[in-house]
Structure 1
Amino acid sequence: MVGAFVGAFALLMLSAFTSVLAGGPVGTKRELVNAAYEAAAGECLNWEKPDLSDAQKVDCSAAHKFEVTGTADITSAYPAEAPFPNAEAWEKIAQENCTQAATTYMSGKLDPQGKYGISTLNPDETRWASGYRQLRCGLQVTAPSGAALPSYGSAKTQDQSNVYDPGVCVALGENNTVGDPIECAKPHAFEIIGVVQHPEGAYLPIEQQDAVMSEKCAEVANEYTGGADLKAKNLLVTWDTRAEESWAVGSRKANCKIGAVPQGENLVAWEGSVRNPDGAPLTTSNPPQTTSVRPQDEPTGAPLHSESGKPSESGSPSESSKPDKPSSSSPTTTTENR
């Protein structure tokens, strides 16, 4: 995932979060989720229903979709007569009230391009009309569409590298971008084949990361595919790199992946998997993330850490990170950041 980091993190907050804890429109389900309104910093919340009406506090070691970093009361800025904020106003409110809470919660070590994004849980229109003005600030792992992905363990103790498990396929999104996890039988941009852990030490410039990833991903591809002839399938090996600000907070993992040979600078969708069916079982850290993301009634926000909150051009080939010519014994390789 690539996004600019200029001043403040982008906040993953659009209209869907307005009803996160209220269960959407007023109804009989409201009392089932009141416990979430009492969640404090360090507590985690999970839900299964697309309208988030079943949100409950859970142990952070279990699957969850929101980790509370603090609360904010905006009564002084929005008195009783203030109109209900629109999506743009909510984003401004979240930026002003939750960015610092996340930074403080993470002791200043929040990866601006990592898997965790800053978000908010806001009151719905009915609670707003009654004078309720308290927000829950938090961190989430999200797919590019904004759909919440399950997280395990507190963000304080987890590696923040933006990686997927081997075996995950990711869709080809609009405007040449990489989309959500999707079933490999469906058209997709990449199949994730492995994760490379860079060692501790000084930051490796992109060209050095490329050299490391080129060698390691060729080995990973050979094992993952059982030595398949990728060139004959019009496929190639590619990988991600880590930005210096990510490296500084300990994000040293990067994905190896396989994609179709691009047409110019445009990614090409392909179907199926190149995994060797007789290969060893895959080692995954978050099994629920190895399946496609279930659609939600509404997107929960832009998933990138950019000031504007707009998706980045992460699907476009990176001219600055192309490797040297591969050896004739290695799979054809190129590279681009996700």
Structure 2
Amino acid sequence: MVGAFVGAFGLLMLSAFTSVLAGGPLTTKREQVNAAYQAAVGECLNWEKTDLSDAQKVDCTAAHKFEVTGTADITGAYPKEAPFPNAEAWEKIAQENCAQASTTYMAGKLDPKGKYGVSTLNPDETRWSSGYRQLRCGLQVTAPSGAALPSFGSAKTADQSNVYDPGVCVALAENNTVGDPIECAKPHAFEIIGVVQHPEGPFVALEAQDTLMSERCAVMAAEYTGGADLKGKNLLFTWDTRAEESWAVGSRKANCKIGAVPQGEKLVAWEGSVRNPNGAPLTTANPPQTTSVRPQDEPTGAPLHSSESNQPPSGESGKPEDSGKPDKPSSTAPSSSAENR
């Protein structure tokens, strides 16, 4: 995905860049966007419309899509006569001006494989042509497509583990990758069945994590499905692990999930939910983990401007490795003997 076009861009093997562009002629809507541009470090912004015409400051405890980590003025590198940057240039600008600001904001504890990615709030072409060169740097939770997902609480104090609540299904995307949250009635790659909280303390080796996750996920699968015969449905359960660099900054949560048995190296989409309709209510986080994504008009297409102006599949060897994100497939999956324990 292209960062300046609301997609994902690798940073230090970790974060995603998502650049949101807004602005336009002087109108009421533009004034609302301008209010967002006045946001100070530590403040949070939210919007519903993809053109950001309703962008506003909100308390960080409420749902939001952007947490300001710094500001930058790029006038020196891009004087008034400089042409409007293309997608590649915006990514370079974001990396050069906002990566360090966000790392500093997090006191050096930004999970390289966590749910937060480095983002920028950029001027649109109209503002650019008038000489406006101010950026807002921030952190944002994004879906694989690059669409902004709701976040709750400050990134400074939140667990950065990239997990979903039980009951969430994630799509099977192009090129054998896992996509955004989706209705379980539609074809999907995985259904999340639970979240495991690892204990505090020294890093637990991946092999030990595998053992723990295999046991915990087997219990969760039985409880979630009501003891359904997963093998008979050509399904299996699998899990995520946490990498050492994620563990070092406090990420301790990992998802258990159910997916179809892969065909060789290919994930297989399946429909419906395996949740026991007569089971106990799902245990979800409060505030919730990411549970949905509002589709964008062009999630990887044209930049977002204000309307006024013209961010390998499962195998069979029994050792899932760290996926970084809960919706990525583990590199391997538990053997069939573990599926119905």
TM-score range, shorter chain: 0.7 to 0.9
The 1:34–1:161 alpha-carbon spacing in structure 2 relative to 1, beyond 3 Å, is same
- Partner residue of 1:210? 210
The 1:81–1:5 alpha-carbon spacing in structure 2 relative to 1, beyond 3 Å, is closer
- Partner residue of 1:12? 17
1:331 corresponds to 2:339 = yes
Matched AA of 2:21: T
Matched AA of 1:190: F
Where 1:67 maps in the other structure, the secondary structure is strand
> Any idea what the Cα deviations from partners look like across 1:62-101, whole Å, max 9, x if unmatched?
0000000000001111111111111100100010000010
- Partner residue of 2:72? 72
Residue pairs, 1:9-48, within 5 angstroms: 9-13=14-18, 17-19=20-22, 22=23, 29-48=29-48
- Partner residue of 1:289? 290
- Partner residue of 1:230? 230
- Alignment length (residue pairs): 311
- Structure 1 segments of 4+ aligned residues over 6 angstroms from their partners: 3-6
1:86 corresponds to 2:86 = yes
> Any idea what the Cα deviations from partners look like across 1:270-295, whole Å, max 9, x if unmatched?
0000111111111222548334x221
Q: Is the 8 A contact 1:45 1:57 kept in 2?
A: yes
Q: Following the alignment from structure 1 to structure 2, what is the Cα–Cα distance between the partners of residues 168 and 81?
A: 48
The 1:242–1:35 alpha-carbon spacing in structure 2 relative to 1, beyond 3 Å, is same
Where 1:29 maps in the other structure, the secondary structure is helix
Where 1:170 maps in the other structure, the secondary structure is strand
Q: Is the 8 A contact 1:33 1:53 kept in 2?
A: yes
Residue pairs, 1:78-227, within 5 angstroms: 78-227=78-227
The 1:53–1:255 alpha-carbon spacing in structure 2 relative to 1, beyond 3 Å, is same
The 1:4–1:99 alpha-carbon spacing in structure 2 relative to 1, beyond 3 Å, is closer
Q: Is the 8 A contact 2:109 2:249 kept in 1?
A: yes
> Any idea what the Cα deviations from partners look like across 1:104-139, whole Å, max 9, x if unmatched?
000000001000000100000111111110100000
Matched AA of 1:318: S
Unpaired segments of 5 or more residues in structure 2?
1-7, 302-310, 312-323
Q: Is the 8 A contact 2:14 2:111 kept in 1?
A: no
- Partner residue of 1:307? none
Q: Is the 8 A contact 2:14 2:113 kept in 1?
A: no
Q: Following the alignment from structure 1 to structure 2, what is the Cα–Cα distance between the partners of residues 27 and 86?
A: 26
Q: Following the alignment from structure 2 to structure 1, what is the Cα–Cα distance between the partners of residues 276 and 295?
A: 29
Where 1:18 maps in the other structure, the secondary structure is strand
- Partner residue of 1:264? 264
Deviation of 1:160 after TM superposition, in Å, equals: 0.2
Task: Compute the TM-score of the two structures, normalised by the length of structure 2.
Answer: 0.85
Q: Following the alignment from structure 1 to structure 2, what is the Cα–Cα distance between the partners of residues 161 and 222?
A: 24
Matched AA of 1:13: T
Q: Following the alignment from structure 1 to structure 2, what is the Cα–Cα distance between the partners of residues 6 and 137?
A: 14
Q: Is the 8 A contact 1:231 1:331 kept in 2?
A: yes
1:299 corresponds to 2:299 = yes
Q: Following the alignment from structure 1 to structure 2, what is the Cα–Cα distance between the partners of residues 127 and 169?
A: 40
Deviation of 1:202 after TM superposition, in Å, equals: 1.5
Q: Following the alignment from structure 1 to structure 2, what is the Cα–Cα distance between the partners of residues 318 and 95?
A: 29
Q: Percent identity?
A: 77
Task: Compute the TM-score of the two structures, normalised by the length of structure 1.
Answer: 0.86
- Partner residue of 2:3? none
Matched AA of 1:44: C
C-alpha RMSD of the superposition? 2.4
- Partner residue of 2:331? 318
